[in-house]
């Protein structure tokens, strides 16, 4: 059974978070979530993830 089709470049991130292809896309998602949120777990900024090479959202405010 050939598994190459199933796992071609589809590395799932260890964090389990949603990955965005660009910082702009991540920031856009933050704004849309903030507009519809009701006060809990609102993402505040985006950070680049070296594991999956995409952008994730975080609710942490402090800089790394
Ligand atoms: Zn990641």
**For the purposes of burial, counting CB atoms within 10 Å of the CB of 46, is it exposed (0-12), middle (13-18) or buried (19 or more)?**
buried
Quick one: what percent of the chain has pLDDT higher than 90? Answer: 47
**pLDDT exceeds cutoff 80 at 1:** no
> Domain boundaries in the chain?
23-58
- Determine the distance separating the centroid of ligand 1 and the alpha carbon of 1, expressed in angstroms: 29
6-10, 26-30, 53-57: range with lowest mean pLDDT: 6-10
Where on the phi/psi map is residue 41: left (φ > 0), alpha (ψ -120 to 50), or beta?
left
Mean of per-residue pLDDT scores for the chain: 80
What's the DSSP call for residue 23?
Answer: H
- Determine the distance separating the centroid of ligand 1 and the alpha carbon of 21, expressed in angstroms: 11
The model scores a pTM over 0.85? no
For 18-39, the pLDDT digits (tens) are 899 999 999 999 999 989 977 6
**For the purposes of burial, counting CB atoms within 10 Å of the CB of 20, is it exposed (0-12), middle (13-18) or buried (19 or more)?**
buried
């Amino acid at each position: 059974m050939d598994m190459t089709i199933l796992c071609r470049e589809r590395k799932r991130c260890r964090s389990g978070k949603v990955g965005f292809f660009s910082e702009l896309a991540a920031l856009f998602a933050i704004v849309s979530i903030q507009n519809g949120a009701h006060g809990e777990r609102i993402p505040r900024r985006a950070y680049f993830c070296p594991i999956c090479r995409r952008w994730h959202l975080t609710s942490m405010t402090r800089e790394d």
